[in-house]
Chains A and B, each alone.
Chain A
Amino acid sequence: MRKIILALMGLTLLTGTAFAATVEEMENSFNPYKNGFPTVEGIKPGMVIDANNWQVAEDVIDPAFLQYIQAGYYSIRIGESFSFDVNPNFIEQTKARLGKAKLGDKPGQISNADAGRPFVEEPSLDDPRAGEKLAWNFKYGHSQGDEWLIDPWFWKYNDMKSGKKERQLRFNFHFRKFNHRYLTDPTKPAWTPNPSNVFRSTFLTVEKPFDVKNTQVLVQRYEDDTKLDNSYIYLGFQRRVRRLSSGQTTDAFLGSDIMLEDFEGYNGRLSDMTWTYLGTKPMLVPMYKHNEEPTDDEVYTDDPDGYRMTKFIGTGNCFPDVSWQLRTVYVVESKPVDPNHPVGKRLHYMDVQTATIPLTNVYDRAGKLWRSFTIGYTHADFDVKENKGTDVVMYNFFSMVDPQVMHCTTGQFKTVTSSPSTTPNVFTVQHMRAVGR
């Protein structure tokens, strides 16, 4: 009996210790800067890192951007570091499920992770699955909220050698999470009805130019990570909805520099990659207050609320005119499982606080830098008025630069979280047909 009591006491102690440690780690995960932001000698807000002084920031600049700065393509403007507080609903969901999420035997399998951030513990280089855990944190992150609308979204295809804009597309995108919801009702992270257990749906419409106008695409991503997406396409010149085979995730989206797999940092199945955590480090990342940054006065000038798009500058107008701040990132490597995959590996720089991936470098099979993908995140209080006070990290530009062929695709967009027009009906085949022209 004494042994049993001691054993129970030990178990209680262990559990309590584990729980306390996890709460602390959760707080560190969501608020990593309570003791201050990282600093680097010689780097101060307001300064510009360019081809003449890049040495001062060499250790905290993404390798691709270091290359661009050295070549004179771009210079980085340093801004103040500030916190992107995470929405309290999401934190509460995480707290209620602390320590419950478990990886399955195989990559792409997870259990007890229906809401919140699944793995809040500081990753360890000794944990062979630490990278995979961070990938799940990214996938189930709070970025953009439960549903969001990007309208308008301008894509430009630019030749960096000539500086010529070759093509400009205009889209609108609707996104909706059917699981892992936290804003609408944190006690009900799963939307019903959801008979096929869809994790997230994306519905896009091309508005311009004429050759792809009225093209619509609907993508249903399932909670089961091992299942391929179900995709549908409506072509304006055919006026019908057809299913799409969705396995070619390395296909260049509408001919741009972006593979389907590249979206948001990584947009494929986690099980298609081998994930490795490589370390934690301070880094300059494009996270800023959009309303205090320079804006583009040409691409979109008739917003009813006066919203303006992020301005692009530098060689080929491929780089964002935003301030970069020093933050802490996890360095995560993803390598394709498929030996025939054109990508050799990706290096993701994942923001610790938000679990977003502002910077991703894509390397080819020869190990040479192929492309660099940058996503700009703004604090919601300094963005579209609808986003204010939501504590949701919002994106509003991207840039994919291909230094091998000197070409880029840029995206400028206005993102509204909890948009009333992003209803469940939008994500149906019938809706595509109904609004198809």
Chain B
Amino acid sequence: MMKWKTLGYFTKITMGGAICAAGMLLGLSTHAIAADDLDLSGFVENATYIRDGRGLSKFRNTAQLEVMKSFDSSFFSSFSFNGILRATYDGVYDLNDDEFGKDSQESYLGQNWHSRGDMTTDLDLLGGKPILAPPVAFPCDNDKQLCSNLSGYMDLDENDVKFPDFNDEWDFIREFYLDATIDLASGDQFSVRLGKQQVVWGKTDLFRVLDVVNPVDYSRQNIYDELEDIRIPQWILQSELRMGPTGIFDDFNTSVVWNFDKFRPNTLGQSGQPYAIVDAGAFFSTYINADAHPGLAPLYPLGPVPVIYDVDVPNWSLSNTQVGLKWEGVYRDTTFSLNGLLYRQQMPSLHLREHPAAPGSGLPAADGAYTIEFPRVKLIGGSIDYYSQAIDSVLRLETTFTQGEELVRDKNGYKETDMFRYVLGFDKNQIIPLLNKKRAFLISAQLFGQNILDHEHDMPDYKSNYTGTLLVRGWWDYDRISPAIIMARDFRSDGMAIAPSIDWLPTDNLKITLGANIKSGGKKKFDTVISDNFTGQSMPNDYEPLARFTNGPIGVANQEDEVQLTIRYSF
């Protein structure tokens, strides 16, 4: 397989430009091609975001080409091919390289979301160094040791993130699958979808509960981009038996999902990138200054200790593939599903490596403190949507119970725990005559809940936590102007995000979106024992390294207020 990492900057630009140009040219000839039952469409887009205090945070240029071709078949009732190619170049690393990219620097770990704490304040004990060193931006451009330790995950160089689609997994192929359906004698339909694809199980916005078949790329814009754009497509075989209306159900369906692709975790964003969810990438690319401690120095002759020693991304093997099963149906005013999935945790789990010379001490090994693992997880879940005529609203429930997930602990590395998650949703279309007599507003509220069933007091996350979201969208001027506001509130950590936006369609091909994204939070501290152990005294003023999990993705991004302009031309 071609290694995209080996391709140069200009080669990737050329490839992206070729996709863009091909898209535009094909777009211009869409009518002629459509006559042959080939549907071609796509867009070119520029997204320019300005971050308060940092300047340009995104200058993403995207060209996407979408292909759908139906084939006549005497055997299948329908047979088609679908493909989506995407080429992205983010110019922020060239245009604002003081703030983002391989040359960017932070004075201390977490500078981009909190003030200094005990773990990041220079200590006399350590010869004027903090316990945790400032992160290294793009380790694979700047630090061979870290890059080597992070190999397989978080090991992208600046060139890779400028062109995120052109990687070893060929992510520029967003989708590439065949769809075939056979009409059975019983009247049922059996269908197969094979290829690189997204499988969408859940119905939630912003956060995922059931929708975990594909991992996601949070480095694109944290949790705020549409899931369609940040799901990482996987090579999957999906088969369905669609029974349609039966004696009881208005619709009934069984589907099996086999994700036979190599496991891929969520992309979190690295140190030096504008979007790095819970700033985990920065933590993973820093050092513990254990060697500077007068009492510990003999244990660490190699110098500072990398936080991450190794990443254990499961190799491809049949036993490492992931399997899901879903039953879904409609019964009168209720839509339901029952889901089961055997998969791997998509967020990293940190396993502490103790120093071999000091077993039981909790001191990190000299060549790295943690290994990143992705444990196996069993999920069962389900969803119910109910339309209530009495209140003319849709009520949604989506829930999962998992076994096998691992959460980090302060004193004891990690713990495997059962997890219970749910979302309660409320959707309503409502005309508000005072604002718009002709067009109904979409009002959608969600309450996410997460319960850590085997919670320990030294876990940097709440036993029970709740996040509420609200979306209100309206339309004016014959749907050519559409303002919206999205709000999200992490109740326990006091994180809050408000994202107003307005879409304007000057023509049927052009959309201009002006928005803002304002966040607050990130004030919760988590008192780690590491600083106490290092100094031999109580040091409760800690954000690092674990309060990032306490504050969550909303709070940690509290210094990422932005004005955002996106211009998309579609063909």
Which A residues contact B (CB, under 8 angstroms)?
157, 166-168, 193-196, 198, 208-211, 213, 220, 227-228, 230, 232, 237-248, 250-252, 254-256, 302, 340, 342, 407, 424-425, 428-431, 434, 437
Contacts and interface: CB of A to CB of B under 8 A. Distances in A.
The 5 closest A-B pairs by CB, nearest first: A255-B479, A247-B392, A210-B570, A209-B508, A251-B440
A237 B240 CA distance: 22
A342 B570 CA distance: 36
B389 interface: yes
Interface stretch (B108-116, B325-333, B354-362): B325-333
Interface in B511-546: 511
Given A168-B508, A429-B330, A302 B35 contact: yes
Contacts of A243: 335, 385-387, 394, 396, 427
Nearest to B66: A437
Interface stretch (B93-101, B126-134, B244-252, B301-309): B244-252
Contacts of A211: 503, 505, 511, 570
B428 interface: yes
Interface of B: 31, 35, 41, 43, 66, 68, 82, 179, 181, 189, 191, 198, 200, 202-203, 226-228, 240, 242, 244-251, 253, 328, 330, 332-333, 335, 385-387, 389, 392-394, 396, 427-431, 433, 437-440, 475, 477-480, 503, 505, 508-509, 511, 568, 570-571
Given A230-B333, A429-B335, A245 B393 contact: yes
A245 B35 contact: no
A434 to B, nearest CB: 6
A318 to B, nearest CB: 14
B440 A195 contact: no
Nearest to A168: B508
A267 to B, nearest CB: 15
Given A245-B392, A342-B437, 7 more contacts: A195-B249, A208-B508, A210-B508, A227-B389, A240-B202, A428-B245, A437-B66
26 contacts: A166-B480, A167-B508, A193-B247, A196-B332, A208-B508, A210-B509, A210-B511, A211-B511, A237-B226, A237-B228, A239-B198, A239-B200, A243-B386, A243-B394, A243-B396, A245-B393, A245-B427, A246-B387, A247-B389, A407-B478, A429-B328, A429-B330, A429-B335, A430-B253, A434-B240, A437-B66
Contacts, number: 151
A193 B202 contact: no
B431 A245 contact: no
A403 B390 CA distance: 35
Given A242-B203, A242-B385, A242-B427, A251 B439 contact: yes
Contact of B478 (A157, A241, A434): A157
A244 B568 CA distance: 28
Contacts of B439: 251-252, 255
Contacts of A220: 250
Given A227-B389, A430-B328, A195 B248 contact: yes
A340 B389 CA distance: 18
Given A238-B226, A428-B251, A228 B200 contact: no
Contact of B41 (A198, A213, A227): A213
B480 A424 contact: no
B427 A429 contact: no
Contacts of B246: 193, 195
Contacts of B503: 211
A196 B242 CA distance: 18
A431 B429 CA distance: 24
Nearest to A212: B479
A252 B240 CA distance: 36
Contact of B242 (A213, A340, A407, A430): A430
Contact of A196 (B228, B250, B386, B440): B250
Contacts of A157: 478
Contact of A245 (B202, B227, B429, B475): B429
Contact of A167 (B191, B251, B437, B480): B480
A128 B228 CA distance: 55
Contacts of A166: 478, 480
Contacts of A230: 333, 387
B240 A424 contact: no
Contacts of A254: 479
A166 to B, nearest CB: 6
Counting chain B CB atoms within 10 Å of each CB, the highest count among A230, A245, A434 belongs to A245
A195 B245 contact: yes
Given A208-B508, A430-B328, A437 B389 contact: no
Contacts of A245: 387, 392-394, 427-429
A117 B431 CA distance: 35
B430 A248 contact: yes
Nearest to B444: A242
Given A213-B41, A255-B475, A428 B242 contact: yes
B92 to A, nearest CB: 24
A207 to B, nearest CB: 9
Contact of A248 (B249, B392, B568): B392
A243 B398 CA distance: 14
B518 to A, nearest CB: 23
B411 to A, nearest CB: 41
B289 to A, nearest CB: 47
A194 B245 CA distance: 7
A240 B200 contact: yes
B82 A437 contact: yes
A251 B431 contact: yes
Nearest to A226: B389
B226 A210 contact: no
A195 B392 contact: no
A251 B473 CA distance: 14
A254 to B, nearest CB: 6
A251 B240 CA distance: 35
A244 B480 contact: no
A431 B183 CA distance: 13
A407 B478 CA distance: 10
Contacts of A430: 240, 242, 244, 251, 253, 328
Given A195-B250, A250-B431, A238 B228 contact: yes
A148 to B, nearest CB: 20
Contacts of A252: 438-439, 475, 478-479
B544 to A, nearest CB: 36
Contacts of B478: 157, 166-167, 252, 255-256, 407
A425 B41 contact: no
A424 B245 contact: yes
Contacts of A407: 478
Nearest to A260: B440
Contacts of A240: 200, 202-203
A213 B43 CA distance: 12
Contacts of B247: 193, 195
Contact of B429 (A194, A228, A232, A251): A251
Nearest to B333: A230
Given A240-B200, A245-B427, A342-B437, A434 B242 contact: yes
A211 B513 CA distance: 12
B245 A434 contact: no
A252 B429 CA distance: 12
Nearest to A247: B392
Contacts of B245: 193-195, 424, 428
A340 B431 CA distance: 11
A10 B226 CA distance: 75
Counting chain A CB atoms within 10 Å of each CB, the highest count among B43, B440, B509 belongs to B440
A434 B82 CA distance: 12
Given A196-B250, A196-B332, A246 B392 contact: yes
Contact of B480 (A242, A250, A255, A342): A255
Contacts of B227: 238-239
Contacts of A250: 431, 438
B393 to A, nearest CB: 5
B249 to A, nearest CB: 7
B228 A424 contact: no
